[in-house]
Chains A and B, each alone.
Chain A
Amino acid sequence: MTAVATEVATGTVTLAKALNLGLDAALAADPRVVLMGEDIGQLGGVFRVTDGLQERYGADRVVDTPLGESGIVGTAIGLAMRGYRPVCEIQFDGFVYPAFDQIVSQLAKLHFRSRGRVRMPVTIRIPYGGGIGAVEHHSESPEAYFVHTAGLKVVSCATPADAHVMVQQAVASDDPVVLLEPKRRYWDKGELTPVQESLWQARVVRPGTDCTLLAYGPMVRTCLDAATASELDLEVVDLRSLSPLDLDTVVQSVRRTGRCVVVHEASRTLGTGAELAARLTEELFYELEAPVLRVTGFDLPYPPARMEEHHLPDLDRVLHAVDRAMGF
């Protein structure tokens, strides 16, 4: 994949700034990279992820689009057919659905339909997830729709270091990539260290022996906090890529610990946790000490902000599930 070398900046920055630096590097590396989205130019995006980039690269490469998500993704497809490498910003998770047809029926299928002749090096960046006290449609976790769509790759970053590199890898990918950015972690700071893994690999971020916590995006930190608080020796795996899933890393971890809790903000039914539970059961039926448990958002439309602390998995709910897993 990597037609473009990924730039590694150094220093301690917020996750939003890390993305900004990554996009900056991607724009600098390849003149065919074009950013497009609502308010991404002069405003720098509502989260300032594209701050300063229009000034640096011009309005042809950092494009303030008319307000229409179907238009953003649909025209990105056309640009890709013309050899460009578009990076679409969807302003908030809940606003990706007007582009759903373009993503699911068009973007995801063109390579397949053309029997490999057409490439779709399109990145769709989506700030996602809750925990910021927002009004409705600003806190959703739509990953399952995209993971379920054959022909799309779906990844999520949890730290500034990963954000910085993963966004560049996503842009460099010749396949369409949905990059889910954990918006409540945009202001988390971290050091920009080199990243060893490919875009599609999971990472054990905290080794442990008693139980594996599988998470991605915003829930990685939640799980690390839970592991720190627990008297048990918990292993935390950051999945990083949801499609493709790095089953090797996941299976190796759960084989060691014998127990697994999957944590995500998205609703439970047919979420990522369901797929992981199925795969782990297939691979490790005799080695599992407990059923794979899930800590997720409930099967509710995203609730009002003053209820989200109930809806979203937190340290207590994660540890509660770990206790249940240990009780088997």
Chain B
Amino acid sequence: MTLSSLDPSLALPPDPSLVQLLTPDGRRVTHPDYADGLSADDVRGLYRDLVLSRRIDAEGTALTRQGELGLWAPLVGQEAAQVGAGRAMRPQDMAFPTYREHGLAWTRGVDPVSLLGLFRGGDHGGWDPAEHGFALYAIVLGAQTLHAVGYAMGAVRDGAVGREDGTAVLACFGDGASSQGDVNEALVWAGVQRSPVVFLCQNNQWGISTPTSAQTRTPLYHRAEGFGFPGVRVDGNDVLATYAVVRDALDRARRGDGPTLVEAWTYRVGPHTTSDDPGRYRPADEVESWRARDPLARVRLLLEREGTGPEFFAEVDAEADDLAARIRKACVEMPDPDPLEAFDHVFVEQTPELVRQRDEHAAYLAGFDA
């Protein structure tokens, strides 16, 4: 075998064990192990989340084009994986996101405006992780998965695991990040300790220009077995299936039955970030074939078939318009960071040296006014 036999065009074989509850054309199908158990109202709620997540994302991209943000990592195409997983969580649970988890953030009650600070260059994460059960975004690939395991270790020690209303932890990472040492160490630790962690790998088929076939020769969810816990592949463009699978896994975790690796089979429809040009490395027809599996369209088809009238969809669209307007306004009005305040956030207990550097810089700045 030569290195070049890691052929990027080598697609993984389709796997019949993909869990699906809603087909791309909006038909419900049953699965022997999973059922969402959701009411029509619940499904409407998920649809609303999907639409609003997509709109938050579209605003992120638009604001970058307009120069208001420095960068944006689009989630378009992955709404169902994130909304399904997020709505499967309970208030006491904790999520450890990557940098693309805008839909998950939405379900955790994080104001979309506070997501923008990091991409605008105003802050490194504008929300309180404890308040939302949603850690700060992690840009260094995979690091957060170990934090998730450690957080879960704490939950176990607190006696918050091992009962129906226990605490569970969601660790997000991508197909690319699955190659990182940290991710593999996290899987080892969680497996050995039977930690209450659900590893949610959104396999969106690409890590920038690197296809999943260059990260793994086996379906990613199969790896779980080697670490000693179950793995399952779910149609990540099916919000009902993602919800059902992640909820089951979280409940298993909170009961004290250990970790699960959930591979959400999805697609990064947009560029890696607004700085990326995917035309350089992937064919347009691949993108088109995934657009046909759009996560929003199938829910709408289902709802329409089951009698939800046009007023509901109009209402959701209007709400999305309002949200978008609020995001745009808040973004352009976001104040720049105070350069002197930064010195106060390095340590809990301030050091004389940082005070010196802050004062020095303050005096330097004052020199311009004089």
Contact = CB atoms under 8 A, between A and B. Distances in A.
A207 B226 CA distance: 64
Contacts of A46: 208, 275-276
Contacts, number: 121
Nearest to B4: A59
B209 interface: yes
A151 B18 CA distance: 50
B317 interface: no
Contact of B353 (A66, A68, A269): A269
Interface in A123-178: 133-138
Given A39-B210, A98-B140, A135-B119, A300 B4 contact: no
Interface in B168-186: 176-177, 179-182
B121 A306 contact: yes
Contact of A136 (B139, B182, B281, B343): B139
Contact of A307 (B207, B276, B336): B336
B140 A137 contact: yes
Nearest to A95: B140
A133 B357 contact: no
Given A63-B3, A299-B354, A307 B210 contact: no
A327 interface: no
B336 A298 contact: no
B215 interface: yes
B120 interface: yes
A311 B339 CA distance: 8
Interface residues of B, number: 47
A13 B215 CA distance: 35
Interface in B1-35: 2-4, 6, 8
A70 B181 contact: yes
A134 B177 CA distance: 21
A59 B6 CA distance: 9
Given A59-B6, A68-B180, A98-B181, A306 B336 contact: yes
Interface of A: 38-39, 41-44, 46, 58-60, 63-64, 66-68, 70-71, 94-95, 97-98, 133-138, 268-269, 298-301, 303-308, 310-311, 317, 320
26 contacts: A43-B209, A46-B276, A59-B6, A64-B209, A67-B176, A67-B179, A67-B180, A97-B140, A98-B140, A98-B180, A135-B70, A135-B119, A135-B121, A298-B354, A299-B353, A299-B354, A299-B357, A300-B346, A301-B346, A304-B118, A304-B121, A305-B121, A306-B336, A306-B337, A310-B339, A320-B367
Interface of B: 2-4, 6, 8, 70-71, 99, 117-124, 139-141, 176-177, 179-182, 207-210, 214-215, 275-276, 280-281, 336-337, 339, 342-343, 346, 353-354, 357, 361, 364, 367
6 closest A-B pairs (Cβ-Cβ)?
A305-B121, A59-B4, A43-B209, A66-B179, A310-B339, A306-B121
